[in-house]
Amino acid sequence: MLWLPAFVVGLVQLSIANPLASKRWNDPAVKHAWVETPRGWEFHSAPPPDHLFDMRIGLKQNKLEELISSLYEVSDPAHERYGQHLSKEEVDALVAPHPDSLETVESWLQYHGINPADARFRSTASEWVTIRVSVAQAERMLDTKYGVYYHAGSDSYVVRTMEYSLPRELHSHVDVVTPTTYFGTMRSMRSTSFLKPQTVTGAEDSFALEISPLAVPASCGTTVTPACVRAMYNTTSYVPRATGTNKLGITGYLEEFANDADLQTFFKDFLPADVGTTFTHVQVNGGLNTQSDPGVEANLDIQYSLAIAVPTPATFYSTGGSPPFVADSNTPTNTNEPYLDWLDFILNQTTIPQTISTSYGDDEQTVPEDYAVSVCNLFAQLGARGTTVTFSSGDDGVGGGNCLTNDGTNKVIFQPAFPASCPFVTAVGGTTKVNPEVAVDFSGGGFSRYFAQPSYQTAAVSPFLTGLGTKFAGLYNATGRAYPDVAAAAEGFQVVISGRTESVAGTSCSSPTFAGVIALLNDFLISEGKAPLGFLNPLIYTIPSGFNDIVSGSNPGCGQAGFTAGVGWDPVTGLGTPDFLSLQALVA
């Protein structure tokens, strides 16, 4: 670690007695502030001053621009570096903070009586540092007041603040501090799946039969089985060959985990030849795996990613982070920050799955921009290392609820979703029906207000914007990152939950299904001695012929009709749904 040697720390301690040092740290400037309490949350009480929590400090990465440049080069099929993904050590070297940033942050910590050597966690590049502090300490350090806030919709309590400040000198060295103004938790965020009224009491024998891609039955438009998605996306005939190297990852939160017995029942009913195939459980930050109460989301994700990719080895990451707030200074509660715990873990692994799917998201405007950018850049690290990261695009069309802005103006605008709006992930929208597929009406899609439109999608998005003209003017950001990138089926998925087959819908169906197709493409490439696909977007926007274009349907929301699917890319289904054999030929 690039932490200061003892003699420098000693100098810092001596400087605390110096009035100039005191002035250095007593010049606060606001880093982020809300004008109103985020919707759905309400102030509950003041936390005890001695309540302890883990504070994360994200330092500015010295060579971040070089990392992003390398990411695009190794992901661009027209570039000479295509497929030459970076090692963990190479990524760490690019994201490490400048020594001046380390020294400045350490001096600030020392001023507040915190020994940097006592940090509870440091990323291997030292760009993320976690320290344990009391509420009183955090309030002094960040010139703020913390409160306990309650979210009735999820029965969640968190310790957060309406604004926080840092000394002006730190603004050029620190990207973000958490937990501060990001109120979202995995419990309050939306899992992008939901049960449908239809209940299937037992699987029919025909469900286990393979279906010809040339004759997908109409029943697959309402009752989706593994045979359906294999036929719809043309994977039926492919047999994985690189299972010793190729891996698939599924992330889970909210104390959800995938159930082993349910997977075997799923295989017995739908894929009898694969009975006995298992997956690896990994618990992160107190994640659970009791096997006693399986989650809809978790079972859906593991069952349908494997329905496509079996026998590709799969890992389910059960990540903790949603305990209730307990006012106990001796029992610190988790900071409850979505994604960061899992990202801390996975980026510190030497080897990681080549394909990873996640099915959670929230309105972009509820995520402080500094936090969103920092998390998005962590996904860029995964891409640079050769991993494809897919996210569900959301289940609220162009926006759910009243779609009012939270900046005090209370305007109605379309609400993009994060992390789907991050330009370094592949966002997956939803479809329904067959022969042809059409956009499902809840498919999340639109344009980011935080992230600019990346060059890899400009040529595809421009025709849509031209055709849209002035329609919805002022309701969306035409220069923002456009999503989704692709789509897959999202309704009528037959999922085994506690031994019972239920019908599930949502773009949570779409992301793991699409990830399964990508896992097969990675299997093919690795078996041919080639690099895996990694960050997918620069490639797929150059080969739209590998997708089934979805030309009908829309995604209403915010009291508006929403965008309409049409020829070419659209913000409902992206480039369309995958055709595995076509994509296989294109990437060969």
Active-site amino acid positions: 297, 301, 508
Packing angle between helix 369-384 and helix 88-95, nearest 10 degrees?
A: 150
The b-or-e profile of 387-413 (16+ CB within 10 A means b, else e) is: bbbbbbbbbbbbbbeebbebeeeeeeb
Binding residues for Ca(2+): 549-550, 568, 570
CB atoms within 10 A of CB 528: 11
**Terminal CA-CA length for the chain:** 41
d(CA 29, CA 36): 19
Instruction: Say how many CA atoms lie within 13 Å of 15 toward its Cβ.
Output: 20
- 104 SS3 class: helix
CB distance 534 to 424 below 8 Å: no
Instruction: Give helix then strand counts, H and E, for the chain.
Output: 15, 27
Question: Angle at the Cα of 422 (from 418 to 428), degrees rounded to 5?
Answer: 75
CB atoms within 10 A of CB 585: 12
Nearest to 437 by CA among 568, 307, 513, 549: 549
DSSP state of 37: P
d(CA 383, CA 385): 5
Binding residues: 549-550, 568, 570
- 385 SS3 class: coil
In order of 215, 220, 262, 440, the CA distances from 433 in angstroms are: 14, 7, 26, 9
d(CA 163, CA 4): 30
Mark out the alpha helices in 30-143 (DSSP H runs): 64-75, 88-95, 99-111, 135-142
